Chains A and B, each alone.
Chain A
Amino acid sequence: MTDQHEVGPGADVASPTSWSIHLNDVSVTYPNGTTALRNVSLDIPAGEMVSIVGLSGSGKSTLIRAMNGLVPITTGTVAVGPHEVTHLRGRQLRQLRGHIGMIFQGFNLAERTSVFRNVMVGRFADTPTYRTLLGVSSERDRDLVFAGLDSVGMLDKVWTRASDLSGGQKQRVAIARALAQGPSVMLADEPVASLDPPTAHSVMNDLRRINGERGLTVLVNLHLIDLAQQYTTRMIGLRAGEIVFDGPAAEAMESDFEHIYGRPIKSNDKLAN
């Protein structure tokens, strides 16, 4: 017995315009004194798929979180699309975040509840708080949730408890959550670091497909060389908080990676076959 649910035509077809990202001389120093980013300037045009490569501690995490304000910036400016992130607070910051989808290394799903509720998190920015409090979701919200899950092939698992899923499935649900926002930018912080090689490839494929189909600007933090080269067009290398490489991913050579890592390449810098 199926539940024939007709999704309205506007649900997943019309994607909002994708945005560009501009960082101008951005530095981030944490309260404990560590400087994570030093004078980083970056221009990413809308629709590009970019990888950010570097060792842990190079500032990748900080860089990606500076873009949606999860990490406050010490100096410089960050602009995402038409909005300047640096001075946004409260409601405006939340509205901006609604346009930026983000997925994480640890998936960040609520394990005890269903996939549906997890993806519905993506609708928060667009829903008035009182509605969330009452636990009522609109028809449109549900459509967007189902559409997001469908585009990553997880629709049949919509009522499953999140903890019952495999790692790759969880990350897909996270992607669906981000897609349900109707984002203009997609940020991915080490999305495949916890996944085995075939699953990692398949998730990276999903990201590339989303970039291609929707023209969505995608930024991916990676620490694996071959994934960066295989799935992204442009690669940015970070070392000790500074950009040391910025160019086409396919053309990067081993010497470039050594420069980014500050050491010779090791076998675990590449994904095992």
Chain B
Amino acid sequence: MTVDEKATPLGVSIPAPPSRLGQTATAVVVGVVLLASAADLDIDWGEVWSIPGQIQRYGRLMFTDPDWERLPRALFETWRSVSMAWLGAILCVVLSIPLGMLAAHGVGPTWLRLTLRAVFAVIRAVPEVVIALLLLTVTGLTPLTGMLALGIAGIGTQAKWVYEAVESVDDGAPEAVVAAGGAIAELARWALWPAVAPALTSFALYRFEINIRTSAVLGLIGAGGIGSMLSNYTNFRQWNTVGMLLVVVITATMIIDAISGRIRRRIMEGAKQ
């Protein structure tokens, strides 16, 4: 792209705009992939237009007269889901803090670090529902299964956050402990823990928030809690109960998110001082 500085009597010369070829090519490829995928899907696209109408109809069936009589049972099941989420979060955090710390640079030997990180990546890639389905054989279709599934499946992401937090700590304190002759355990307790404690606590609460949603999902595949109640009544096509259950799920999730979010913010603000 050269610039001709000579101004013509009637006008001026503008440099040529940069080539848009790369951008256009990407857009075309993305567009083709999207359209090809959509076309190949076993969906009757003509039917799509009726969806909003259908959703409206069912929405009315669900929410105009929700089944409040079953609310006590719904709350009982909600507590079950919350318990699964809470205990699963505790399990996950308890396992992922030491494992995560070991997987951080400068803590353990390289072979250990790489192996652990690979394990975390694999756990991360496998959907939690699959882990729960696999655990069903050992523990049966119970909330305990749900709790274990939540605890184990979460290690993948949780441990990653732990080692990322540990690695972002300033080197000063860990160096001092090592120089004074400290071993890994002392390193963890005196240098790493105080620095990362606020972040880890925050992550633990966030894991609880995530688990609340996942526990409802596990309930749908039979682990108990509000999910199984939802699954049952949806199969029975009892829409007014389904509507009530959805309201319960949404409200419980939003309340817990709000409370947990506020606590997390206070922790992080306290940490900054």
The stretch of B2-10, B25-33, B38-46 in contact with A is B2-10
- The answer to whether B10 and A3 touch across the interface, beta carbons within 8 angstroms, is no
CB-contact partner of B14 in A5, A8, A9, under 8 A: A5
For B7, the closest partner residue in chain A by CB is: A150
Residues in chain B near residue A150, CB distance under 8 A: 12
User: A156 to chain B: which residues have CB within 8 Å?
Assistant: 3, 5, 15
B13 at the interface (CB under 8 A from A): yes
Residues of A within 8 A of B8 (CB): 4, 6
By secondary structure, the B interface counts as loop
Shortest CB-to-CB span from B210 to chain A, Å, is: 32
The answer to whether B15 touches A6 (Cβ under 8 A) is: no
Distance between Cα atoms of A160 and B219 in the complex (Å): 55
Measured CA separation A150–B6 after assembly (Å): 12
The digit string for A151-173, where 1 denotes a CB below 8 A from any CB of B, is 00001101100000000000000
Report the bound CA distance from A3 to B2 in whole Å: 9
For the complex, is B72 an interface residue (Cβ under 8 Å from A)? no
Mask, A113-155, CB within 8 Å of B = 1, is: 0001000000000000000000000000000001100100001
The residue in chain B whose Cβ has the minimal distance to the Cβ of A147 is B12
Would you list which residues of chain B between 11 and 25 have a CB under 8 Å from chain A?
11-18
Minimum distance in angstroms from A144 CB to a CB of chain B:
13
> With A and B bound together, what is the CA distance between A6 and B14 in angstroms?
9
Least CB distance, B113 to chain A, in whole angstroms: 37
Known contacts A2-B16, A156-B15, A159-B18; A7 and B10 CB within 8 A of each other: yes
Residues of A within 8 A of B17 (CB): 3, 116, 159
Interface check A1, CB cutoff 8 A: yes
* Majority DSSP secondary structure for residues of A touching B: loop
Interface centre among B1, B5, B8, B15 (most CB of A within 10 A): B15
**B13 contacts A2, CB within 8 Å?**
yes
Complex: A150 Cα to B17 Cα, angstroms = 16
Q: How far is the CB of B16 from chain A (nearest CB, A)?
A: 4
Interface size on B, residues (CB 8 A): 15
Q: Evaluate contact between A5 and B11: CB separation under 8 angstroms.
A: yes
The one of B3, B10, B11, B18 that contacts A2, using a Cβ cutoff of 8 Å: B3
What residues of B have a CB within 8 angstroms of the CB of A147 in the complex?
12
**With the chains together, A147 CA to B13 CA distance in Å?**
10
Closest to B3 in A: A156
Q: Is the CB of A3 within 8 A of B18?
A: no
* Interface contact B4-A2, CB-CB below 8 Å: yes
Q: Which residues of A contact B2 (CB under 8 A)?
A: 1-2
Task: List, in ascending order, chain A residues with CB within 8 A of B12's CB.
Answer: 5, 7, 146-147, 150, 155
Chain B residues with CB under 8 A of A155: 12, 14-15
Q: Is the CB of B15 within 8 A of A7?
A: no
CB proximity of B167 to chain A, nearest CB, Å: 29
Complex: A1 Cα to B15 Cα, angstroms: 8
Collect the chain A residues with CB atoms within 8 Å of residue B10's CB. 6-7, 9
A22→B1 CA distance, assembly (Å): 48
Among A1, A2, A7, A158: residue with most chain B CB under 10 A: A2
A66 CB → nearest B CB, Å: 37
Partner of B16, one of A1, A6, A7, A146: A1
CB distance from A11 to the nearest CB of B (A): 8
Contacts of A146 in B (CB 8 A): 12, 14
Contact B18 A4 (CB under 8 A): no
Chain A residues contacting B14 (CB-CB under 8 Å) are 2-3, 5, 146, 155, 158
Check B11–A1 contact: CB distance below 8 A: no
| B181-213 at interface with A (beta carbon < 8 Å) | none
Q: Which residues of A contact B4 (CB under 8 A)?
A: 2, 4
Report the separation of the CA atoms of residues A36 and B119 in the bound assembly, to the nearest whole angstrom.
63
- B18 pairs with A5, CB closer than 8 A: no
**Could you list 25 examples of A-B contacts with CB < 8 Å?**
A1-B1, A2-B3, A2-B13, A2-B14, A2-B15, A3-B16, A4-B4, A4-B8, A4-B13, A5-B12, A5-B13, A5-B14, A6-B11, A7-B10, A7-B11, A9-B10, A116-B17, A146-B12, A147-B12, A155-B12, A155-B15, A156-B15, A158-B14, A159-B15, A159-B17
Residues of B within 8 A of A (CB): 1-5, 8, 10-18
Q: 20 new A-B pairs (CB below 8 Å) besides A4-B8, A5-B11, A159-B15?
A: A1-B1, A1-B2, A1-B16, A2-B2, A2-B13, A3-B13, A4-B4, A4-B13, A5-B12, A5-B14, A6-B10, A6-B11, A7-B10, A7-B12, A116-B17, A155-B12, A155-B14, A155-B15, A158-B15, A159-B17
Please name the 4 residue pairs, one residue from A and one from B, whose CB atoms are nearest each other, closest first.
Answer: A7-B11, A6-B11, A3-B16, A2-B4
